[in-house]
């Protein structure tokens, strides 16, 4: 109904037109009537019991499906015996303190106590049981806690959950009251346990560890009870006052029947009334009824829930110029005369306030536009700074030099790509830690996925030597040109970050180190496969030493830098290490860098890096393949820590087969194993000039393989051709006249790094 108050007439003028006494009487009478109606609405706003059935037991309401007679209740399980109105109870003598239509009953539960007086136990009070209806009532898991109080007490809670026996317990101890903390139930003086869903027919039992002999003076009893949450607050006094507490408040959940809503909605025993919904019980079998939104009352009665008059709520439609209209299940606000609805704001306004509101809206929109523009300008400036920073990093990391080298005719076959930082961020999901596939002393390796579904490995180094940028760029150009089946391919790099990123092809099956030393994988790699891996690795290193231009010395050959694909094909990599490009100098003293256990002793002493340093490291890998032992084991006696020294000692004493891995000694032919062992011995010579070249090692290993595979073929028939192909090297690769070994610059200066075999 529209309200039309005269804005020019005040309340005092209206009272002046009426007799003051008459007005006062009318106001008083109306006030009394409204108060009585409001009181009646508060007490009994909707029916709660069946017609002609009592609904009060003392001061407590008994809503249907419960009833004070069997005819007024759903069935005997919901009959409330009100003989004693102060303690009504339902079947199995569950005392009722309050019944909620939301599916809960407030009740009381006995306190199980275990008391000792001068060593004599009160045996009649340590166990209490609560037997509930088998279909309808369970101990509420959301409203209760199982609580144990005492300084020498252990208590048990036993019940049934879905017809299966359930048991739990809790222990509470303390030596003196000095350790007790009020409000704390963590096991000192008090402990508590959550109640599981659907628990019924519970039994409580309280016991003592030592008959309370040590704490009898201040705590002769232990207590166990189920308590409604927020009704029990532990304190030191609880140790004494609980002795006089016979029962504690507890909450039971109730539901109808043992069927779900889908099963019962079309049956005659379904009792949810109009404007109500059916809800399955969360604590066990059965269902409950609930009023729809906008309705209230008892959903279990046949007439169901009644519409709520939301207009009685002063918080609804309380804006200026609004009036409320109640509708079934909802309400609507409308504008009274003299006001109209402002569609943009959804409020009732006068003409004047509408203009003011529109002005405010305009100011607000202008402010938002300014804010958006400012944010856009800030982002543009920030983006420009980021672009400039990336360009500075690109130039600082040698990007211009790399572009110039890639554009030269002699590098026309180079396949190195310069990636952007956005490409690599997207490929690694912004360098997600879950995509890390390797960590080393020099950086971290991520697994990346490009839009064309190519999987790559992205190496993010920790530091970079700015004085060696040109050397680094040369390395990228040379490595990108290497296309060997046993060398991990360098796909490109990103120079827009503070430290350059390298992108390699992804090898999925891990490292040779994992296959040799992992107990579950070692037996998979047979001697035949191991010999092939050794031959392939030697061939790759020989290619780097003699066929690459300029030659490349790996400097960190180890089993964790040899990757294996799905067919156990070896792929030499340098994840976790720095690869060098030798220059055209004859000698340079450098700082030593490499992995302990694999490091060339001559290189450690002289700091002169030659390709014979790779030969020594490969010899250690060859011994790993033979013995299955790690290159360096700190958990062994000092004499046996270095695999190379230990192996040479066994070989010297003619005890080769004692150090070989058991299944390798059984699989391999004795003569072949001896030849491989002798080759490893030659690789491990202290002086580089006494070691074979990687070309000789590769040739010998391949010859052993062919001799084993094709005994009828003359292995040396193509030796001259092989020798010729492997002997072609770059003019920029210089040899030392005495040992024919390349002496090179080390691109890492001012650092001494010993890598303890950190994998990729």
How far apart (Å, rounded) are the C-alpha atoms in residues 481 and 484? 9
556 catalytic per annotation = yes
Q: Tell me the two tokens of residue 291.
A: 């009023």
Instruction: Answer for the pair 325, 334: CB distance below 8 angstroms, yes or no.
Output: yes
Counted domains in the chain? 5
Residue that terminates a domain, selected from 202, 228, 254: 254
Average pLDDT of the residues in 86-115? 90
Task: Please check the confidence at residue 280 and state whether its pLDDT lies above 60.
Answer: yes
- Summarised one tens digit per residue, pLDDT across range 1-45 is 333 333 333 333 333 334 433 433 343 444 443 444 444 333 446
- Summarised one tens digit per residue, pLDDT across range 285-299 is 899 999 999 999 999
Same domain, 629 and 734: yes
Please check whether residue 362 lies inside any domain of the structure. Answer: no
**For residue 262, what is the enclosing H or E element?**
helix 261-264
Average pLDDT of the residues in 710-721? 43
Name the pLDDT band for 413 (thresholds 50, 70, 90).
Answer: low
Please check whether residue 572 lies inside any domain of the structure. Answer: yes
Please check whether residue 750 lies inside any domain of the structure. Answer: yes
Q: Tell me the two tokens of residue 80.
A: 């409330």
Name the pLDDT band for 61 (thresholds 50, 70, 90).
Answer: very high
Average pLDDT of the residues in 645-672? 89
Side-chain-side CA neighbours of 463 within 13 Å: the count stands at 11
Name the pLDDT band for 125 (thresholds 50, 70, 90).
Answer: low
Same domain, 576 and 658: yes
Lowest mean pLDDT among 580-589, 653-662, 667-676: 580-589
Residues 6+ apart with CB under 8 A from 742: 545, 551, 553, 582, 610, 611, 733, 734, 735, 736
Please check whether residue 56 lies inside any domain of the structure. Answer: yes
Task: Please check the confidence at residue 279 and state whether its pLDDT lies above 90.
Answer: yes
User: Got the DSSP string for 314-325?
Assistant: TTTT-STTEEEE
Please check whether residue 369 lies inside any domain of the structure. Answer: no
Same domain, 420 and 526: no
Residue that terminates a domain, selected from 463, 480, 505: 505
Please check whether residue 293 lies inside any domain of the structure. Answer: no
Same domain, 90 and 132: no
- List the helix and strand counts (H, then E) for the chain: 19, 35
Average pLDDT of the residues in 693-697? 94
Lowest mean pLDDT among 135-139, 233-237, 473-477, 730-734: 730-734
Residue that terminates a domain, selected from 191, 219, 254: 254
The pLDDT of residue 720 is 38
Task: Please check the confidence at residue 535 and state whether its pLDDT lies above 60.
Answer: yes
Residues 6+ apart with CB under 8 A from 189: 149, 150, 151, 172, 174, 179, 180, 181, 234, 236, 238, 239
Name the pLDDT band for 65 (thresholds 50, 70, 90).
Answer: very high
Same domain, 230 and 145: yes
Q: Tell me the two tokens of residue 718.
A: 């193509």
The pLDDT of residue 387 is 86
Same domain, 462 and 542: no
Cα distances (Å, whole numbers) of residue 730 to 269, 543, 733, 735: 96, 12, 5, 11
How far apart (Å, rounded) are the C-alpha atoms in residues 582 and 478? 11
Residues 6+ apart with CB under 8 A from 110: 128, 130, 204, 225, 246, 247
CATH of the domain at 187: 2.60.120
CATH of the domain at 643: 1.10.510.10
How far apart (Å, rounded) are the C-alpha atoms in residues 628 and 613? 22
Task: Please check the confidence at residue 498 and state whether its pLDDT lies above 60.
Answer: yes
Task: Please check the confidence at residue 532 and state whether its pLDDT lies above 90.
Answer: yes
Please check whether residue 688 lies inside any domain of the structure. Answer: yes
Name the pLDDT band for 412 (thresholds 50, 70, 90).
Answer: low
Average pLDDT of the residues in 695-706? 92
Of 556, 574, 746, 755, which is the active-site residue? 556
The pLDDT of residue 395 is 82
Instruction: Answer for the pair 113, 244: CB distance below 8 angstroms, yes or no.
Output: no
Find, among 267, 275, 261, the residue nearest to 306 by Cα.
275
Segments of 275-343 assigned E as strands: 276-280, 287-291, 295-296, 306-307, 322-327, 330-335, 340-342
Greater pLDDT, 29 or 331: 331
Per-residue HEC secondary structure of 493-549 comes to EECCCCCCEEEEECCCCCEHHHHHHCHHHHCCCCHHHHHHHHHHHHHHHHHHHHCCC
Greater pLDDT, 754 or 168: 168
- Summarised one tens digit per residue, pLDDT across range 429-454 is 999 999 998 876 667 889 999 999 99
The pLDDT of residue 521 is 67
For the chain, the average pLDDT equals 80
Same domain, 65 and 108: no
Same domain, 467 and 478: yes
Please check whether residue 477 lies inside any domain of the structure. Answer: yes
The pLDDT of residue 578 is 41
CA of residue 506 relative to chain centroid, distance: 26
- Summarised one tens digit per residue, pLDDT across range 382-411 is 888 888 888 888 888 877 878 777 777 665
* Phi, psi angles (nearest 5°) of residue 23: -60, -45
How far apart (Å, rounded) are the C-alpha atoms in residues 550 and 733? 6
Same domain, 531 and 489: no
Instruction: Answer for the pair 573, 757: CB distance below 8 angstroms, yes or no.
Output: no
How far apart (Å, rounded) are the C-alpha atoms in residues 87 and 94? 9
Same domain, 609 and 738: yes
Same domain, 572 and 712: yes
Name the pLDDT band for 162 (thresholds 50, 70, 90).
Answer: confident
CA of residue 195 relative to chain centroid, distance: 28
Q: Tell me the two tokens of residue 547.
A: 């066929």
Name the pLDDT band for 128 (thresholds 50, 70, 90).
Answer: confident
The residue range of the domain holding 122 is: 104-254
Q: Could you tell me the pTM of the whole model?
A: 0.46
How far apart (Å, rounded) are the C-alpha atoms in residues 491 and 419? 10
Same domain, 176 and 94: no
Instruction: Answer for the pair 187, 149: CB distance below 8 angstroms, yes or no.
Output: no
């Amino acid at each position: 109904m529209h309200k039309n108050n005269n804005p020019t007439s005040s309340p005092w003028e209206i009272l002046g037109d009426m007799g003051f006494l008459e007005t006062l009487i009318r106001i008083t009478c109306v006030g009394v009537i409204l108060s009585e109606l409001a009181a009646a609405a508060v007490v009994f706003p909707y029916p709660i019991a069946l017609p002609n059935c009592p609904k009060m037991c003392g001061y407590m309401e008994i809503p249907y499906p419960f009833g004070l007679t069997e005819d007024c209740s759903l069935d005997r399980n919901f009959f409330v015996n009100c003989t004693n109105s102060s303690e009504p109870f339902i079947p199995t003598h569950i005392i009722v303190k309050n019944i909620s239509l939301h599916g809960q009953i407030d009740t009381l539960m006995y306190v199980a106590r275990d008391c000792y007086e001068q060593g004599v136990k009160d045996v009649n009070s340590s166990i209490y049981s609560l037997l509930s209806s088998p279909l309808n009532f369970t101990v509420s898991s959301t409203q209760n806690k199982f609580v144990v109080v005492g300084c020498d007490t252990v208590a048990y809670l036993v019940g049934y959950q879905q017809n299966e026996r359930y048991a739990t317990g809790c222990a509470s101890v303390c030596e003196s009251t000095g350790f007790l903390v009020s409000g704390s139930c963590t096991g000192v003086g008090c402990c508590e346990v959550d109640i599981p869903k659907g628990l019924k027919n519970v039994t409580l039992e309280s016991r003592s560890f030592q008959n309370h002999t040590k704490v009898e003076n201040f705590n002769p009893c232990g207590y166990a009870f189920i308590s409604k949450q927020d009704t029990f607050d532990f304190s030191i006094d609880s140790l004494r006052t609980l002795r006089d507490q016979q029962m504690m408040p507890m909450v039971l959940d109730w539901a109808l029947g043992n069927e779900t809503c889908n099963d019962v909605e079309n049956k005659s025993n379904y009792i949810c009334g109009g404007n109500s919904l059916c809800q399955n019980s969360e604590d066990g079998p059965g269902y409950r009824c609930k009023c729809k939104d906008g309705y209230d009352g008892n959903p279990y009665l046949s007439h169901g829930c009644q519409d709520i008059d939301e207009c009685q709520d002063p918080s609804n439609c309380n804006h200026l110029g609004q009036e409320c209209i109640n509708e079934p299940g909802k309400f609507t606000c409308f504008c009274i005369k003299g006001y109209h609805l402002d569609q943009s704001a959804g409020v009732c306004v006068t003409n004047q306030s509408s203009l003011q509101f529109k002005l405010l809206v305009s100011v607000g929109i202008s402010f938002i536009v300014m804010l958006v523009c400012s944010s856009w300008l800030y982002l543009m400036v920030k983006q420009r700074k980021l672009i400039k920073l990336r360009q500075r990093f690109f130039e600082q990391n040698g990007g211009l030099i790399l572009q110039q080298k890639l554009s030269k005719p002699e590098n026309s076959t180079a396949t190195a790509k310069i990636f952007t930082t956005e490409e690599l961020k997207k490929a690694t999901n912004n360098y997600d830690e879950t995509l890390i596939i390797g960590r080393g002393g020099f950086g971290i390796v991520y697994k990346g996925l490009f839009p064309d579904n190519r999987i790559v490995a992205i190496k993010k180094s920790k530091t970079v030597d700015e004085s060696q940028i040109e050397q680094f760029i040369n390395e990228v150009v040379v490595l990108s040109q290497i296309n060997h089946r046993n060398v991990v391919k360098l796909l490109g790099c990103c120079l827009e970050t503070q430290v350059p990123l390298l992108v390699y092809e992804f090898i999925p099956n891990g490292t040779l180190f994992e296959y040799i030393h992992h107990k579950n994988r070692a037996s998979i790699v047979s001697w035949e496969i191991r010999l092939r891996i050794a031959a392939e690795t030697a061939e790759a290193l020989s290619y780097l030493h003699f066929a690459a231009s300029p030659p490349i010395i790996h400097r960190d050959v180890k089993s964790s830098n040899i990757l294996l694909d799905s067919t156990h094909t070896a792929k030499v990599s340098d994840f976790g290490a720095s690869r060098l490009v030798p220059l055209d100098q004859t000698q340079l003293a450098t700082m030593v860098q490499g992995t302990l256990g694999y490091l060339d002793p001559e290189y450690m002493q002289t700091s002169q890096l030659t390709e014979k340093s790779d030969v020594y490291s490969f010899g250690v890998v060859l011994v790993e393949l033979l013995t299955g032992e790690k290159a360096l084991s700190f958990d062994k006696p000092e004499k046996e820590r270095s695999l190379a020294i230990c192996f040479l000692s066994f070989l010297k004493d003619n005890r080769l087969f004692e150090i070989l891995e058991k299944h390798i000694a059984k699989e391999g032919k004795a003569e072949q194993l001896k030849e491989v062992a002798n080759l490893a011995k030659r690789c491990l010579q202290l002086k580089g000039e006494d070691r074979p070249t990687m070309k000789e090692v590769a040739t010998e290993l391949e010859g052993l393989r062919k001799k084993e595979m094709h005994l009828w073929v003359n292995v040396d028939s193509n030796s001259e051709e092989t020798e010729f192909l492997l002997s072609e090297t770059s003019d920029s690769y210089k040899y030392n006249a005495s040992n024919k070994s390349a002496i090179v610059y080390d691109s890492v200066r001012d650092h001494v790094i010993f890598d303890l075999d950190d994998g990729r």
